[in-house]
Structure 1
Amino acid sequence: MNYALFIARKIYNGGDNTQKVSKPAINIATIGVAIGLAVMIISVCVVLGFKHSIRDKIVGFGSHITVANFLTLQSSEQYPIVINDSLTKELKTIPGVKHIQRYAYTQGILKTNSDFLGVVLKGVGPDFDSTFIHNNMVEGVIPRFSDTENQQNIVISKTIADKLKLKVGQRLFAYFINKQNVRTRKFTIAGIYSTNMKQFDAQVCFTDLYTAKKLNGWEADQYSGAEILVNDFLQLDPISYDVLSKVKNKVDHYGETYSSENIIEQNPQIFSWLDLMDMNVWIILALMIAVAGVTMISGLLIIILERTQMIGILKALGSRNKQIRHIFLWFATFIIGRGLIIGNIIGFGIIFLQKWTGLIKLDPQTYYVSTVPVEINISLIVALNLATLLICVLVLIAPSYLISHIHPAKSMHYE
């Protein structure tokens, strides 16, 4: 058996009764490691949950990658582009592409007897992935949108419904102004959604793809563009490059030029804001590991000083400085391990409590979510535990050299 490990285990388990290890030093060191790890786990889970919640909401209103008219991507105006079956089949061959759907935007005014509001209608068809809107529905249902006929259904946000005092099942008029004339359509409110994304909820409504195209006066094969969803967000950049390489400088039979952008390029401010959170997490991790390291150094020094006589006896019996240092490093590892176990229990306990109960609330107008979102990533938490253990042990190597300055003869008279 390993000599250093055997002695360390005896000391930790209280097998050496000649002199008790200072309980306060051990408890303080254990608490320091536990609190540090718990804070790190909570920080990582909250930031991951927050980033992915916001990212999924932005993607839900659009897609990971958008193929559209070059002029559309450079301005706020809508210019049509041909999205035919041959193009969609070509885009589907790109590795990592999960889904492709056509869409069309048009601007209009919703009017009731007492009020009116400017909105953006997004026309979607049978290929529309409604998972995101379905998960955020608060009332009504999502109708089966068509690309061949006007079914006169519309899905609006709770923000719009509150402003215009609308309810599911109500009928309302919408007015659309283009270069030629003013067009009027009558819609029935099929459903109401709420995502807490103020800039989207305040203006985006969903209706039939056929309706949006007709209101724009476009041809049957013209759309605002195609939205592409990918399997892995981490592979967004290479997939975006592949999509751009297939459509760049391509011109349809109406003379319109294709281009593409990914969701990060379309919303740089939001994603820059989310990236700042990573810096905050790194700062928290550094501070918590520093706290754990300092408490462990203090605890180790106290334990070494308290065990001066034992160190002297071990040296007199022939133990080398290296062996004795290993004894105390193993002893510190046991303390760190106990702290990690307690820290995991505290951290996971708080995370699961928030995940199941939504105990901590947020202002959705500011943070885009109504409760603090959490996401558990086991691989990251395991790496966090291993990194904490490794760093804490490494910072203890230098203080352990204090043992080299303890002389056997002098230590016998140490009290």
Structure 2
Amino acid sequence: MNTELFISRRLFFDKANKNLLSQRIIRIALAGIALGLAVMIIAVAVVTGFKNEIRNKVVGFGSHIQIVNYDSNNSYETQAVSENQAFLPLIKTIQGVEHMQVFATKPGMIKTDEYIQGIVFKGVDTDYNWEFFSENLQEGTLPAITDSGRINEILLSEQVAKLLNLKLNDKAVFYFINEKEVIPRMLQLTVCGIYRTGFEEFDKLFIVGDIKQIQRLNNWRENQVTGFEITVDDFFQIDNIEQQIRNTVIQFRDEDSEILRTQNITRQYPQIFDWLSILDMNVWIILILMVMVAGFNMVSGLLVLILDRSTMIGVLKAMGSPNWSIRKVFIYLSVFLTGRGMLWGNVIGVSIIIIQKLFHIIKLDPASYYMEFVPMNFSLLHLLFLNLGTITVTSLILIIPSWFIAKISPEKVIRFD
């Protein structure tokens, strides 16, 4: 039988202690632990949710990995490549590759009677995965792209629609300029759908339509495209998968074909992903501070417990109990009390996460945060690690104040009592 654990449990469940001053002080310490753990849970949920949302939106506009012409720079005016490539079947077999599709981009302007706005026309084909835009579609339908002929339908953002006073089924005039051409080329396209992602930097830029329109604007053949977009099933394996794709592309290159290169979304938009990586440092600072607060709260609580139970300590010493055995009693008791505070911290943190996920109570300015409400990412793994880390660190910290038990003299505390 574990005597120390038995004694600590009796002290923990003893109802006679509830009216003692020490118990009120301990309740304050437990409130600090509960608040600290709740803050840690919410902070991790917010930051991971924010990163996931931003990452998914950037990937939604451009996929994880692209294969493009080596001569294409970082602008949206690109050099054509053939969509008939020998390496395509092999890339689809690479582990982690989820989907592959062709695309083309063309910068231009959209003009109405009163306003003008620069845009990027993204052309897609029948193999395009519309899941991202389906989730963010506000009005209308997606462009009904077919193999039979060009369609004049486009999908544009709610931001651009409001800026240019365009509504569903309105016709808009687009202007595109080719190299070595003085007169711009003009397209009249119909707004078939309006989307809103909240990522204003991209919403005000991209319109989506038939890739055959871009092929006609650029005088490309029907099998020429800007490149290939590839999505993967694990974002954190993107570098490894890109390396395998690059090796495959190089392996099939011949002297008569264009030179191709690969690029992943983190290199295409480094400023966004560098910004997201900085958020990790903020989370670690919050976690360290909150664990320190929880630890010091329980240190003060343990010292109060030791002072309050000094007579009991003296009696146990007089009966022959070693210092380490008595220390274990108070460490066990402190762990039980910490667990109670952590229980309430979990309830508070998880409740706030669920309420925010369901009702989106806390709003954000999309112009500053790229989304309309605070995102929450609830992960049981994160919850487990936070609880284990808190109880482990707090328990280790509690060993230090328990040394005061060794300085208590049985003769003095029993005589004083």
TM-score higher than 0.5 here? Answer: yes
Q: Distance in 1 between matches of 2:156 and 2:150?
A: 17
Could you state the TM-score of these two structures normalised by the residue count of structure 1?
A: 0.95
Identify which range, 165-174 or 331-340, moves more after superposition. Answer: 165-174
SS at match of 1:413: helix
Q: Where do 5+ consecutive residues of structure 1 fail to align?
A: none
TM-score scaled by length of structure 2: 0.95
Counterpart of 2:207 in structure 1 is 205
Whole-angstrom CA distance in 1 between matches of 2:190 and 2:410:
92
Letter in structure 2 aligned against 1:390: T
Q: What CA distance in whole angstroms lies between the structure 2 residues aligned with 1:30 and 1:388?
A: 13
Partner of 2:56: 56
Compare 145-154 and 129-138 and name the one that shifted more: 145-154
Summarize deviations over 1:90-146 as a string: whole Å, max 9, x none. Answer: 211111000000001112222323333332110001111111111111111102223
CA–CA distance in structure 2, aligned partners of residues 348 and 290 of structure 1: 21
Residue of 364, 370, 373 corresponding to 2:372? 370
Change (3 A) 1:384 1:13: same
SS at match of 2:45: helix
Aligned equivalent of 2:301, options 299, 302, 314 = 299
Q: 1:183 aligns with which of 171, 182, 185?
A: 185
> Alignment partner of 2:261: what SS?
strand
- How big is each residue's C-alpha offset from its partner over 1:313-354, in whole Å with a ceiling of 9 and x where there is no partner? 001111111110010000001100000100001101111111
Find 2:245's aligned residue among 210, 235, 243. 243
Identity %: 42
Structure-1 residue corresponding to 2:312: 310
Q: Which amino acid aligns with 2:364?
A: L
The one-letter amino acid paired with 1:43 is: A
Superposed counterparts of 1:9-408, under 5 Å: 9-14=9-14, 22-73=22-73, 75-84=75-84, 86-178=86-178, 179-180=180-181, 182-248=184-250, 251=253, 255-408=257-410
Note the C-alpha offset of 1:283: 0.3
Distance in 2, Cα, partners of 1:258 & 1:11: 72
Q: Is the contact between residue 147 and residue 208 of structure 1 (CA under 8 Å) also seen in structure 2?
A: no
After superposing the two structures, state which structure 1 stretch, 159-168 or 8-17, moved more: 8-17
Q: Relative to 1, partners in 2 of residues 1:156 and 1:252: Cα closer, same or farther, differing over 3 Å? A: farther
CA distance in 1, matches of 2:386, 2:281: 16
Contact 1:250–1:257 (CA<8 Å) still a contact in 2? no
Q: Is the 8 Å Cα contact of residues 169 and 191 (structure 2) preserved in structure 1?
A: yes
- 2: distance between equivalents of 1:143 and 1:254? 36
Report the Cα distance in structure 1 between the residues aligned to 2:74 and 2:122, rounded to whole angstroms: 19
Give 1:88 deviation, angstroms.
2.1
CA distance in structure 1 between the aligned counterparts of 2:148 and 2:103, rounded to whole angstroms: 13
User: CA, structure 1 residues 146+104, in 2 after alignment: closer, same or farther (shift >3 Å)?
Assistant: farther
The RMSD of aligned alpha carbons is: 1.9
In 2: Cα distance, 1:229 partner to 1:254 partner = 28
AA aligned to 1:342 is: W
Contact 2:110 2:175 in 1 (8 A): yes
- SS of residue in 1 equivalent to 2:150: coil
More divergent stretch after superposition (181-190 vs 205-214): 181-190
Distance 1:102 1:198 in 2: 25
**What is the CA–CA distance in structure 2 between the aligned matches of 1:74 and 1:162, rounded to whole Å?**
29
Structure 2 residue runs of 5 or longer lacking an equivalent are none
Cα distance in 2 for residues equivalent to 1:155 and 1:56: 19
Tell whether the 8 Å contact from 1:244 to 1:259 is kept in structure 2 after alignment: yes
Paired residue secondary structure (1:108): strand
Matched pairs, number = 415
Following the alignment from structure 2 to structure 1, what is the Cα–Cα distance between the partners of residues 303 and 338? 15
- Inter-partner Cα distance in structure 2 for 1:253 and 1:174: 38
Contact 1:106 1:122 in 2 (8 A): yes
Residue 192 of structure 2 aligns to a residue whose secondary structure is strand
Between 1:258-267 and 1:155-164, the stretch displaced more is 155-164
1:357 is displaced (CA, Å) by 1.0
Q: 1:146 touches 1:209 (CA, 8 Å); kept in 2?
A: no
Whichever residue aligns with residue 329 of structure 1, its letter is: I
Contact 2:139 2:193 in 1 (8 A): yes
The separation in 1 between residues aligned to 2:293 and 2:115, in whole angstroms, is 59
Hey, what's the Cα distance between the residues in 1 that align with 2:50 and 2:256? 43
Deviation at 1:210, TM superposition (A): 1.3
Closer/same/farther in 2, CA of residues 313 and 372 from structure 1, 3 Å limit: same
